A and B are shown apart, each in its own frame.
Chain A
């Protein structure tokens, strides 16, 4: 699975449109002013991480989507992945539970470890990995089954419920925690595909937490939600943090600031800066990060 690619000039990042901004006077002296991302700035390496990834490169056929990203994710941490559209957030996230395996053209290289085990090792079974590392996809993808069966799907497969009352309990608590139960309690047998976009998104969250994975990867879980539902999901994330590790992709800075302890900023496939969330948003160290969070581009 792991292929090393040599002779790759992966660290050079041209951002010609940025060249003019280098000279603008409102830059602080200690800021990294180079437009080339030579290496990731900040605290991307942790002691005793849950997930440890080193020099991750991801290719779609000839096209490289992630360049040499090294990032650790700590135990019981919520890390936010931010960056402009198409910068590779989903790609990086999918590399963490080997969902990229399903894409024929996709290759991943580098070292990715969960609890010290290489997840791209031959001995690692992607099925077991995915049971430990759950994922909420960017596009809601409920099964064409009833709402109940959607949530019960994972627990049934993994034999998490001893009997049907147990299963009912799991389904109901999962739906409650995702903030969906009140809306669907009268129609648990109706098809999940008949829900609205935001409801489907919460159904998929409920489905994922129903199997209690150790790590939950969330790809823009609140993109279609109203402020109230968003608040419920953010509360859920806070609460899940006690027992789980969470990586969340989001386009909302406020959301990243509210739910995460650390934030990683990706730019054109490169991991530009990683740091404590409040520091990243108050005092970004890289020019590209500052441009992004102040809305100058992206």
Chain B
């Protein structure tokens, strides 16, 4: 039987043991006082029948490929095995392919290998199926015996739930660690080719020169400073737009606006976050950037047709809802008694907001700003379209700049070898970006801890 059929069987067996456990418990509940409700006994026996079997299947799914591979190798004669490693791999691959496609093969060695594969495969399936049934039935049988009602079913179920929840959070953490580590290792490979200090403190970014080894200036220069300056510049402009507008509109919506207006305005504001960034991108490139250039020229400034300002402004509009929506929620969560207390002392509404509500809502507001900031830092499309690709080191928002994420995209598009410094630089940039946002988060957490006013 294959895995999906087995899972259905497990579900069926657990259901049966749930009902039989519950039934058995309610029968004995008539003659004695039980330590848990019948349904707890049901849950417990269902877990007994289902969980170990499920774990078994998962484990099997994890180790099956390695086990079967081993079977194939063992069936091969020494002459094949003694080949060079890559040739052997190729050979085993062709066997696997043949098995997958179910094609008949001529080569007797291959045939033998396939046979032993199939024997091992069907044997293991039999064993697995039997085990699932044994475990499942043991639960059912146990549930029918009197021993069931002596168990602390409620406590046991609680324990299983706790472990399950723990595993779920562990998955999230392990995934994060995995991603960080893989980025880290690739980045370390990059730092073998380019010195760490040149990367972090270098002020010239021109990875294009490193495509071919025989080119002039093939060393390339990987100074990340211009990228980070560009990223920070654009994100700052975006935040300067988004934080005041977002926060103030959240305050208006939650403290001043009527319920009716709020019901319309809030979703309308949130639509801003749903517009695809490409749309923002061409809006920035075709409308905002020319507009800024024209205005700049009319007052005698030289403005590049692609400018950090244009990208930043449009990005700011895009992230307004991140600030406003979250802030609005936390401001609403501040208890009315706080407002009453302040108003009752003769404070005006704006004094109340400034001195009582904002401090109490600060963690949520900072959370919203952080979310908006990470969106801004990670945004690519708008920058590509409106701020350009040139890695110029400048703090002038009227010039074209580029950002880390844009460069990661340009590094990885096109056809280079995957272990050239140029491609690996993407991982190094990614790592730096990750560290930057981490620092930002820690910093924000610190601010929140310091200024937060907690209400109960």
Could you tell me if A141 and B346 are in contact, using CB atoms closer than 8 angstroms?
no
Query: Please, how many angstroms separate the alpha-carbon atoms of A144 and B334 in the complex?
Result: 11
Q: Let me know if B454 is at the binding interface, CB within 8 A.
A: yes
Query: Please, how many angstroms separate the alpha-carbon atoms of A143 and B455 in the complex?
Result: 7
Query: Please, how many angstroms separate the alpha-carbon atoms of A213 and B339 in the complex?
Result: 19
Q: Let me know if B180 is at the binding interface, CB within 8 A.
A: no
B-contact bits for A184-204, CB 8 A (1 contact / 0 none):
000000010100000000001
Count A interface residues, CB 8 Å: 30
Could you tell me if A130 and B346 are in contact, using CB atoms closer than 8 angstroms?
yes
Query: Please, how many angstroms separate the alpha-carbon atoms of A204 and B337 in the complex?
Result: 12
Query: Please, how many angstroms separate the alpha-carbon atoms of A141 and B339 in the complex?
Result: 9
Q: Let me know if B302 is at the binding interface, CB within 8 A.
A: no
Q: Let me know if A52 is at the binding interface, CB within 8 A.
A: no
Within 8 A of A (CB), among B184-220: none
Q: Let me know if A153 is at the binding interface, CB within 8 A.
A: yes
Within 8 A of A (CB), among B314-355: 335-348, 351, 355
Closest to A150 in B: B341
Query: Please, how many angstroms separate the alpha-carbon atoms of A143 and B355 in the complex?
Result: 10
Q: Let me know if B107 is at the binding interface, CB within 8 A.
A: no
Could you tell me if B346 and A204 are in contact, using CB atoms closer than 8 angstroms?
no
B340 in complex: contacting residue of A128, A137, A157, CB < 8 Å: A137
Q: Let me know if A269 is at the binding interface, CB within 8 A.
A: no
Could you tell me if A157 and B359 are in contact, using CB atoms closer than 8 angstroms?
no
Least Cβ distance of A130 to chain B in Å? 5
Least Cβ distance of B200 to chain A in Å? 42
A141 in complex: contacting residue of B337, B348, B453, CB < 8 Å: B337
A204 touching B455 in the complex, CB below 8 Å, given contacts A144-B359, A157-B347, A211-B346: no
A128 touching B346 in the complex, CB below 8 Å, given contacts A143-B356, A144-B360: yes
Q: Let me know if B456 is at the binding interface, CB within 8 A.
A: yes
Q: Let me know if A154 is at the binding interface, CB within 8 A.
A: yes
Query: Please, how many angstroms separate the alpha-carbon atoms of A157 and B350 in the complex?
Result: 11
A207 touching B360 in the complex, CB below 8 Å, given contacts A102-B336, A145-B453, A193-B454: no
Which residues on A sit within 8 Å (CB–CB) of B339?
102
B-contact bits for A139-165, CB 8 A (1 contact / 0 none):
101111100000001100110000000
Could you tell me if B341 and A143 are in contact, using CB atoms closer than 8 angstroms?
yes
Closest to A137 in B: B340
Could you tell me if A211 and B454 are in contact, using CB atoms closer than 8 angstroms?
no
Could you tell me if B343 and A99 are in contact, using CB atoms closer than 8 angstroms?
yes
B346 in complex: contacting residue of A131, A137, A145, A193, CB < 8 Å: A131
A153 touching B342 in the complex, CB below 8 Å, given contacts A102-B336, A104-B259: yes
A-contact bits for B353-373, CB 8 A (1 contact / 0 none):
001100110000000000000
Closest to B346 in A: A131
Could you tell me if A127 and B348 are in contact, using CB atoms closer than 8 angstroms?
yes
Closest to A104 in B: B259
A135 touching B344 in the complex, CB below 8 Å, given contacts A104-B259, A143-B453, A144-B453: yes
* Interface size band for B: 20 to 34
B-contact bits for A66-108, CB 8 A (1 contact / 0 none):
0000000000000000000000000000000101001010000
Closest to B337 in A: A141
Could you tell me if A153 and B355 are in contact, using CB atoms closer than 8 angstroms?
yes
Closest to B345 in A: A154
Which residues on B sit within 8 Å (CB–CB) of A97?
344
Which residues on B sit within 8 Å (CB–CB) of A99?
340, 343-344
A102 in complex: contacting residue of B340, B348, B351, B454, CB < 8 Å: B340
Query: Please, how many angstroms separate the alpha-carbon atoms of A79 and B342 in the complex?
Result: 25
Q: Let me know if A208 is at the binding interface, CB within 8 A.
A: yes
Which residues on A sit within 8 Å (CB–CB) of B347?
127, 153-154, 157
Query: Please, how many angstroms separate the alpha-carbon atoms of A206 and B346 in the complex?
Result: 15
Which residues on A sit within 8 Å (CB–CB) of B360?
144
A134 touching B344 in the complex, CB below 8 Å, given contacts A102-B339, A141-B337: yes
Which among B339, B453, B454, B456 has the greatest number of chain A C-beta atoms within 10 A?
A: B453
A143 touching B338 in the complex, CB below 8 Å, given contacts A127-B348, A157-B351, A193-B454: yes
Could you tell me if A134 and B345 are in contact, using CB atoms closer than 8 angstroms?
yes
Within 8 A of A (CB), among B251-294: 259
Could you tell me if B344 and A144 are in contact, using CB atoms closer than 8 angstroms?
no
B455 in complex: contacting residue of A137, A193, A213, CB < 8 Å: A193
Could you tell me if B453 and A154 are in contact, using CB atoms closer than 8 angstroms?
no
Least Cβ distance of A66 to chain B in Å? 19
Least Cβ distance of A212 to chain B in Å? 11
Could you tell me if B342 and A137 are in contact, using CB atoms closer than 8 angstroms?
no
A139 touching B337 in the complex, CB below 8 Å, given contacts A104-B259, A144-B455, A191-B454: yes
Which residues on B sit within 8 Å (CB–CB) of A207?
341, 345
Could you tell me if B346 and A158 are in contact, using CB atoms closer than 8 angstroms?
yes
Query: Please, how many angstroms separate the alpha-carbon atoms of A99 and B346 in the complex?
Result: 11
Which among B336, B345, B453, B454 has the greatest number of chain A C-beta atoms within 10 A?
A: B345
Query: Please, how many angstroms separate the alpha-carbon atoms of A134 and B341 in the complex?
Result: 10
A137 touching B344 in the complex, CB below 8 Å, given contacts A143-B453, A191-B454: yes
Closest to B349 in A: A127
Could you tell me if B453 and A130 are in contact, using CB atoms closer than 8 angstroms?
no
Which residues on A sit within 8 Å (CB–CB) of B454?
144, 191, 193
Could you tell me if B343 and A102 are in contact, using CB atoms closer than 8 angstroms?
yes
Least Cβ distance of B263 to chain A in Å? 14
Closest to A131 in B: B346
Query: Please, how many angstroms separate the alpha-carbon atoms of A230 and B279 in the complex?
Result: 67
Which residues on B sit within 8 Å (CB–CB) of A213?
346
Which residues on B sit within 8 Å (CB–CB) of A208?
344-345
Which residues on B sit within 8 Å (CB–CB) of A145?
359, 453
Could you tell me if A211 and B345 are in contact, using CB atoms closer than 8 angstroms?
yes
Could you tell me if A193 and B343 are in contact, using CB atoms closer than 8 angstroms?
no
Could you tell me if A130 and B341 are in contact, using CB atoms closer than 8 angstroms?
no
B345 in complex: contacting residue of A128, A139, A144, A157, CB < 8 Å: A157
Query: Please, how many angstroms separate the alpha-carbon atoms of A112 and B58 in the complex?
Result: 75
Least Cβ distance of A293 to chain B in Å? 30
**Which positions in B face A, CB cutoff 8 Å?**
259, 335-348, 351, 355-356, 359-360, 453-456
**Which positions in A face B, CB cutoff 8 Å?**
97, 99, 102, 104, 126-128, 130-132, 134-135, 137, 139, 141-145, 153-154, 157-158, 191, 193, 204, 207-208, 211, 213
27 A-B pairs within 8 Å (CB atoms) are namely A102-B336, A102-B340, A127-B347, A130-B344, A130-B345, A130-B346, A134-B344, A134-B345, A137-B337, A137-B340, A139-B337, A141-B335, A141-B337, A141-B341, A143-B338, A143-B453, A143-B455, A144-B338, A144-B359, A144-B360, A144-B454, A145-B453, A153-B345, A157-B347, A191-B454, A207-B345, A211-B345
Additional A-B contact list (17), CB under 8 Å, known A137-B337, A144-B453: A99-B344, A102-B336, A102-B343, A104-B259, A134-B344, A137-B344, A141-B335, A143-B341, A143-B356, A144-B454, A153-B345, A154-B345, A157-B345, A157-B355, A191-B453, A207-B345, A208-B344
Q: Which 5 A-B pairs have the closest CB atoms?
A: A131-B346, A144-B453, A141-B337, A154-B345, A135-B344
